[in-house]
């Protein structure tokens, strides 16, 4: 009879800083593993603290509390399977990103992360010291190698583990989503399997933390790179994975392979999870937003309804004399289709009072952008008043195109606590609205069917701050703008690259100028769900004061 080994994988959603809560989740996973007669229960990277804790991790009281919590867990979980959990670890004056192996009431082994990522949203070189290349640890009848997250993206760690006796690899991760990330992960892990000849189990955490969403989708590979099992995306799950040892070593017993949704569904799911967890982890139960009758606020309202339930979402129409009848109709129709609360709060009286107050100072000056911005800022004032009064989080509704070029009013429509569509270009907003109208999933708390009226999707975009205003009066048409922004932001390209792609130099230079001038707005903007490797915040860090312009 072949040797067997069972690992219980806890693909779970920790909360940064909630050490007691995270320990309780770990204990529940361990109990599930014990009941399933597992040999080992595994949790993701830095699970006890939550990830990414950034500079909080360096606070001595914090990382000391985390280590003590794992020591207490080890005692609680003494009688049963080995527990493996991510935790900071201190040796002398050095702080490490560690994976702690607990058995018999104590920590019996620890793995120290060797390669510290220092790119995109990661800044681990700032926080941690690099551990040495190490060997495997023993659990029952197996020798397990655990490259921690980034360590599995490099050949040397897995190679050293294989050479020092590891029989299979268990990779604990805090790996956040970006579009097409699963394919990138899979390619990297297949490479490790081919190089070492060892089976590999990739365990990822799940859930939202600030702008990042950890998308789960944990999986296992057998030698040759064949996928043996995969857990669901964006969903907490505890799964028991069996291995059998035959003449050629350990092999993962093939099990369910959860489907991998397409990029449109994954992006939408990320925005829902990001908002749901941001609100839950900050203590908000209800949300509100300004409902303009436009496509962006309609999509944000839909995401909010799917994240926390339509009964917990307040949509507020704040019309001025420039608001079209179509926008009034569309905003109300969308709110009703979603099943959200709808309020109608005209701003004419408040705007008149502000205009009269400023009239002596502005005498002799032509009306213009200032007066347009007063409308937006008055709406922001009223929405924040409602947020304060009702205890509802205000959501902002600017898409990535607008956030990039500053086509939003600071302290106006930029006011709020979270922006679900911050990393989604306008052209993708339109397509995502169509996708949501055509699709409904069981993780969506909102209504099925056409919840965003078609006219909202098809009418020309407008801020409606003056007569007959269109976004295209101030900006290139969105397909052109988004294509240029993709080159300048997502590809980190140049003006010359834009020209080579067929865009007018003057247009590309205008977009670049707006991009740089808007840095101060982004610095003060609400966080939002990260969908790409070039989201505005930790992925792309530019100075606010910047007089450089690309002359290529």
- pLDDT tens for each residue of 156-196: 999 999 999 999 999 999 999 999 999 999 999 999 999 99
Mean pLDDT of the 43-72 span: 97
pLDDT at position 311 over 50: yes
Percent of the chain topping pLDDT 70: 99
Placement of tokens 């949704």 in the chain: 261
Question: Alpha-carbon distance 353 to 286, whole Å?
Answer: 31
Say whether 402 counts as a known binding-site residue: yes
Say whether 477 counts as a known binding-site residue: no
Q: In this structure, how many other beta carbons lie within 10 angstroms of the beta carbon of residue 411?
A: 14
pLDDT tens sequence across 138-155? 999 999 999 999 999 999
Please name which of 351, 259, 236, 334 lies closest in space to residue 293, comparing C-alpha atoms. Answer: 334
User: Looking at residue 2, what is its pLDDT?
Assistant: 60
Say whether 146 counts as a known binding-site residue: no
pLDDT tens sequence across 196-240? 999 999 999 999 999 999 999 999 999 999 999 999 999 999 999
Question: Alpha-carbon distance 510 to 533, whole Å?
Answer: 24
Question: Alpha-carbon distance 446 to 302, whole Å?
Answer: 7
Mean pLDDT of the 356-365 span: 94
Of 110-119, 414-423, 466-475, 500-509, the range with the lowest mean pLDDT is 466-475
Residues with Cβ within 8 Å of 482's Cβ and at least 6 positions away in sequence, in order, are 401, 425, 426, 427, 428
Q: What is the pairing mode between strands 3-11 and 200-204?
A: unpaired
Say whether 426 counts as a known binding-site residue: no
Classify 270 in phi/psi space as left (phi over 0), alpha (psi -120 to 50) or beta: alpha
- Written as six digits, the tokens of 309 are 């339930």
Say whether 521 counts as a known binding-site residue: yes
Q: In this structure, how many other beta carbons lie within 10 angstroms of the beta carbon of residue 518?
A: 21
Domains assigned to the chain: 3-252 (3.60.110.10), 264-471 (3.40.50.620)
Say whether 86 counts as a known binding-site residue: no
The H-or-E segment that residue 110 falls in is: strand 106-112
pLDDT at position 473 over 80: no
pTM: 0.95
- Written as six digits, the tokens of 73 are 């867990």
Say whether 187 counts as a known binding-site residue: no
From first CA to last CA, the distance across the chain in angstroms is 69
Chain CA centroid to CA 44, Å = 17
Q: What angle do CA 135, 138, 140 make, to 5 degrees?
A: 165
Say whether 120 counts as a known binding-site residue: no
| Contact present, 233 and 252 (Cβ < 8 Å) | no
Say whether 108 counts as a known binding-site residue: no
Q: What angle do CA 299, 304, 308 make, to 5 degrees?
A: 160
In order of 53, 216, 235, 433, the CA distances from 185 in angstroms are 22, 12, 18, 29
Question: Alpha-carbon distance 67 to 110, whole Å?
Answer: 12
Q: Reply yes or no: is the peptide bond before residue 10 cis, omega within 30 of 0.
A: no
Please name which of 278, 137, 133, 158 lies closest in space to residue 221, comparing C-alpha atoms. Answer: 158
Q: Report DSSP letters for 190-230, one per residue.
A: HHHHHHH---EEEEE-EEEETTEEEEB--EEEETTTEEEEE
Say whether 444 counts as a known binding-site residue: no
Helices (H), 59-170: 60-76, 124-127, 155-163
Q: What pairs with residue 103 in β-bridges?
A: 106
Say whether 181 counts as a known binding-site residue: yes
Residues annotated as catalytic (active site), given as ranges: 45, 113, 149
Say whether 17 counts as a known binding-site residue: no
Question: Alpha-carbon distance 230 to 4, whole Å?
Answer: 20
- Written as six digits, the tokens of 209 are 């933390």
Of 155-159, 209-213, 255-259, 458-462, the range with the lowest mean pLDDT is 458-462
Say whether 398 counts as a known binding-site residue: no
Say whether 373 counts as a known binding-site residue: yes
Mean pLDDT across the chain, nearest whole number?
95
Mean pLDDT of the 279-304 span: 97
Residue 120 pLDDT class (50, 70, 90 cuts): confident
User: Looking at residue 1, what is its pLDDT?
Assistant: 43
């Amino acid at each position: 009879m072949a040797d067997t080994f069972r690992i219980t994988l806890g693909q779970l959603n920790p909360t940064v800083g909630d050490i007691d809560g995270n320990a309780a989740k770990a204990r529940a996973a361990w109990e599930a593993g014990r009941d399933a007669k597992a040999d080992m229960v595994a949790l993701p990277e830095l699970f006890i603290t939550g990830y990414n804790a950034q500079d909080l991790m360096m606070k001595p009281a914090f990382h000391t509390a985390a280590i003590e919590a794992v020591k207490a867990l080890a005692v609680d979980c003494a009688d049963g399977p080995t527990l493996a959990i991510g935790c900071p670890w201190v040796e002398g004056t050095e702080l490490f990103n560690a994976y702690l192996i607990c058995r018999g009431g104590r920590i019996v082994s620890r793995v120290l992360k060797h390669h510290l990522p220092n790119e995109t949203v990661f800044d681990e070189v700032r926080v941690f010291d690099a551990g040495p290349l190490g060997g495997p640890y023993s659990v029952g009848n197996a020798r397990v190698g655990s490259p921690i997250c980034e360590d599995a993206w490099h050949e040397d760690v897995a190679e050293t583990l294989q050479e020092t006796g590891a029989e299979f690899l268990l990779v604990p991760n805090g790996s956040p989503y970006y579009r097409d990330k699963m394919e990138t992960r899979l390619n990297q892990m297949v490479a490790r399997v081919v190089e070492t000849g060892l089976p590999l189990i990739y365990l990822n955490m799940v859930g939202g933390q600030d702008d990042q969403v950890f998308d789960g989708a944990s999986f296992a590979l057998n030698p040759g790179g064949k996928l043996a099992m995969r857990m669901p995306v964006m969903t907490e799950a505890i799964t028991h994975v069996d291995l059998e040892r035959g003449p050629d070593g350990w092999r993962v017993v093939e099990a369910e392979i959860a489907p991998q949704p397409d990029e449109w569904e994954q992006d939408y799911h990320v925005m829902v999870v990001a908002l749901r967890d941001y609100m839950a982890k900050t203590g908000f139960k209800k949300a509100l937003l300004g409902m303009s009758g436009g496509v962006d606020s309609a999509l944000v309202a839909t995401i909010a309804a799917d994240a926390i339930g339509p009964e917990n979402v307040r949509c507020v129409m704040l019309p001025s004399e420039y608001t079209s009848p179509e926008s009034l109709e569309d905003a109300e129709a969308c709110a009703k289709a979603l099943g959200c609360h709808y309020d109608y709060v005209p701003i004419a009286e408040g705007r008149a009072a502000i205009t009269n107050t400023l009239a002596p100072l502005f005498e002799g000056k032509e009306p213009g952008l200032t007066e347009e911005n007063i409308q937006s800022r008055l709406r922001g004032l009223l929405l924040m008043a409602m947020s304060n009064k009702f205890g509802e989080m205000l959501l902002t509704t600017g898409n990535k195109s607008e956030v990039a070029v500053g086509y939003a009013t600071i302290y106006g429509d930029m006011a709020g606590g979270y922006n679900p569509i911050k990393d989604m270009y306008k052209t993708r907003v339109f397509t995502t609205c169509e996708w949501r109208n055509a699709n409904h999933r069981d993780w969506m708390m909102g209504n099925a069917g056409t919840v965003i009226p078609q006219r909202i999707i098809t009418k020309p975009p407008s801020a409606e701050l003056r007569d007959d205003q269109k976004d295209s009066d101030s900006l290139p048409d969105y397909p052109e703008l988004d294509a240029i922004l993709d080159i300048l932001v997502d590809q980190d390209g140049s003006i010359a690259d834009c020209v080579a792609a067929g865009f007018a130099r003057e247009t590309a230079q205008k977009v670049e100028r707006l991009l740089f001038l808007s840095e101060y707005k982004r610095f003060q903007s609400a966080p939002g769900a990260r969908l790409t490797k070039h989201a505005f915040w930790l992925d792309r860090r530019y100075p606010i004061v910047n007089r450089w312009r690309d002359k290529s």
